[in-house]
Structure 1
Amino acid sequence: MKLEAVDYTAENADKLFVESLHKTGFGVLKNHPIQQSSVLSIYNNWQTFFDSEDKEQYLYDKETQDGFFPTRVSETAKGFKKRDIKEYFHYYPWGKCPPQLKQEIAAYYQAATELAAELLDWVEKHSPPEVAALYSQPLSKMITESQQILLRILHYPPLTGSEEVDAIRAAAHEDINLITILPAANEPGLQVKGTGDDWIDVPSDFGNLIINIGDMLQEASGGYFPSTTHRVVNPDGADMSKSRISLPLFLHPRPDVVLSERHTADSYLKERLRELGVI
């Protein structure tokens, strides 16, 4: 498996991008509309937030799942016993957010969601007819007016050497949603599972946009688009002292959207959140 960046401005970008999603579960875009300067500013401003004690004032709400999730309640990936070494903030337009960070993060949320809708149109356009027939409605319409689209600002703190044995920044997992939009992080570490036991580094050139398939699109496409296993590994040597900021946007359909004969978006999400131990 090899992941290569597709030029968003190329005439055949849509075809190449969807081919990559089908073959690997991941697509990487360059020359895309998301402004690199905006992403860098968000990384810097939220690093300040995570370095501050003020973050505890925005502690998460267990019912609504918005706000700050400290390391002490971090997720435990399905099949693992150790919590991930991370803390994060869940941003929804309707949820809590530090006032000084609201305008910038809201603008990014809107821009990334609009791009995601275009990418979902690409996916539907290049789905084989028998796969497209499985979609209960156009893929981009599944997220229209969805209140469930989640922007997670992730902070992987510097490692001290006192972490639990075998704990890593993000254990191997699959995402729950349709697709995830992720600007390259400010530090490397993201890997995707290849064939067998191989792990492949995802290109982390700053400016790249990484898109991966979640379980809901796998479900809706009858498995044609695979929800690929990925992880974030711990750094070595001097890099252990560096924080890592990541900004995944999880494209969740409206709860009523039918994914398959087995699941609506709501039933699927609740099943997975129970498995993760966050509800």
Structure 2
Amino acid sequence: MQVQVVDYRAPGAPEQFARSLHETGFGVLVNHPIPQALVEKIYADWLAFFVDGAEKQGYAFSPETQDGWFSTAISETAKGHTQKDLKEYFHIYPWGRIPPSLKADAMAYYEQANALAGELLSWVERHTPPDISRHYSEPLSRMIEDSRLTLLRVLRYPPLTGTEPPGSLRAAAHGDINLLTILPAANEPGLQVQAKDGAWLDVPSDFGMLIVNIGDMLEEASRGYYPSTQHRVVNPTGEGATKSRISLPLFLHPRPDVVLSERYTAHEYLMERLRELGVKT
């Protein structure tokens, strides 16, 4: 299993990228258009927001809208696991609550990343075999038009204290819910993907790379042609255990009415998974 590192500007990039997603569920882009300086500033500013702690208390998450700050106490429990992930995070939607001092950069990144994600989804669509694409209820690129559900999540994995529950991880093995996730390489390592033989492999994640993976909704819509591969964030050791890890995934979601398959609409699938994660009743 080899996650491909693809030059976004290369002539063969769309085909290479789609092939990597088909074979591994993951692809990594270099020379992509998202400014690294913007990513680094967001990392630094949001780390201060999380660590300071005073302001975030006023943005406690809303069970109805799923926006705002999710503390470590209410963090997700990955499907099939019993321990909560060792993380806190903030959900950003254009229509949702965002701290005023952090809004401009967050929305600039959201717009740029969303545009790029839409382009990458069109690459996937273009290189889907006809016998698979004929099952799409509509073109993949159209599924996200006018969607209010594409989510930017700012994650902080706190330093480890040595008192963590046995077996708990920064992010236990899971698949993403959505169509496609794009993720700038974090400020600290730890992301791993599970190979078909069950082995865990480090995902190439040099600072400046953009990591992209298939979500469960696209696996459902493509009848498994694009696999939503299990991935996790492992706990660091040594000096790394004393540092926070900041991550900035954008989860590309379709409109709620989009038909993914004979079994699910996008809304039905999302509600089922949120209940499994324990963040919605």
Aligned equivalent of 1:8: 8
The SS at the match of 1:263 is coil
CA distance in structure 1 between the partners assigned to 2:107 and 2:74 by the alignment: 25
Shift of 1:12: 0.3
Shift of 1:145: 1.0
CA distance in structure 2 between the partners assigned to 1:129 and 1:261 by the alignment: 19
Identical columns (%): 63
CA distance in structure 1 between the partners assigned to 2:4 and 2:150 by the alignment: 27
The SS at the match of 1:6 is strand
Aligned equivalent of 1:221: 222
The SS at the match of 1:152 is strand
2:116 pairs with 1:115: yes
> 1:76-125 CA distances to partner (integer Å, 9 max, x unpaired)?
00111100000000000000010000011001000000001111110010
Q: CA RMSD in A?
A: 0.6
CA distance in structure 2 between the partners assigned to 1:11 and 1:271 by the alignment: 40
Shift of 1:196: 2.1
Shift of 1:3: 1.8
Superposition TM-score, scaled by structure 1 size = 0.99
Aligned equivalent of 1:35: 35
Segments of 5+ residues of structure 1 without an aligned counterpart are none
Superposition pairs for residues 98-113 of structure 1, below 5 Å?
A: 98-113=99-114
2:69 pairs with 1:51: no
CA distance in structure 2 between the partners assigned to 1:129 and 1:262 by the alignment: 21
Paired letter, 1:46: W
Aligned equivalent of 1:87: 88
Shift of 1:195: 2.3
Paired letter, 2:34: I
Shift of 1:141: 1.1
CA distance in structure 2 between the partners assigned to 1:209 and 1:127 by the alignment: 22
Aligned equivalent of 1:140: 141
Shift of 1:197: 2.5
CA distance in structure 1 between the partners assigned to 2:212 and 2:105 by the alignment: 22
Structure 1 outlier segments of 4+, above 2 Å: none
CA distance in structure 2 between the partners assigned to 1:144 and 1:207 by the alignment: 28
The SS at the match of 1:181 is strand
CA distance in structure 2 between the partners assigned to 1:102 and 1:154 by the alignment: 16
CA distance in structure 2 between the partners assigned to 1:176 and 1:123 by the alignment: 17
Superposition pairs for residues 1-279 of structure 1, below 5 Å?
A: 1-52=1-52, 53-279=54-280
Count of aligned residue pairs for this structure pair: 279
Shift of 1:183: 0.4
> 1:156-198 CA distances to partner (integer Å, 9 max, x unpaired)?
0000101111111000000000000100000000000012231
Paired letter, 1:22: H
Paired letter, 1:43: Y
Superposition TM-score, scaled by structure 2 size = 0.98
CA distance in structure 2 between the partners assigned to 1:117 and 1:238 by the alignment: 38
CA distance in structure 1 between the partners assigned to 2:261 and 2:198 by the alignment: 30
Paired letter, 2:7: D
The SS at the match of 2:98 is coil
